[in-house]
Amino acid sequence: MKTPLIVAMFAAGLSAASAQSIGGSYQASGTNFDGSRYTGRAQVTVTSDTTCRISWMIARTTWRGICMRNGTSFSASYTSGNAIGLAIYELKPDGSLEGLWTLADKPGVGTETLMPLR
């Protein structure tokens, strides 16, 4: 009967990730639609148990938005000028966020990892 042990270990891992705070500063690194790489910084400010504000500084451009957490899922909508975007991440046990992002009316998907600065 190893199944209950596996389920308990999985549930413990989820609750540990769920208990992590997402607020703080992050090193951002990712890929653009064309595969080129970028780096920058992100700041997450928690506003409730599930919601937050987020901003990125990437290549001298600031992106600002709102974000939401549900367990290990983390999503953000953001704008810069007339550009509107959406990012979807998974919260990892080490506190990093790994995900995908896109911009409205643009074909393609980019990748991004947010690594907490401690």
Structural domain boundaries of the chain? 3-116
Mean predicted confidence (pLDDT) in 67-79:
96
Cα separation, 5 vs 71, whole angstroms: 21
Query: Structure pTM?
Result: 0.82
Q: Is pLDDT at 31 greater than 50 in this prediction?
A: yes
Mean predicted confidence (pLDDT) in 73-101:
97
Q: Is pLDDT at 36 greater than 60 in this prediction?
A: yes
* Domain covering 3-116 assigned CATH 2.40.128.120 in the classification: yes
Cα separation, 72 vs 54, whole angstroms: 17
Q: pLDDT tier at 13 (50, 70, 90 boundaries)?
A: very low
Mean predicted confidence (pLDDT) in 44-66:
96
Q: What pLDDT does 21 receive? A: 86
pLDDT tens, 98-109? 999 999 999 999
Mean predicted confidence (pLDDT) in 37-52:
96
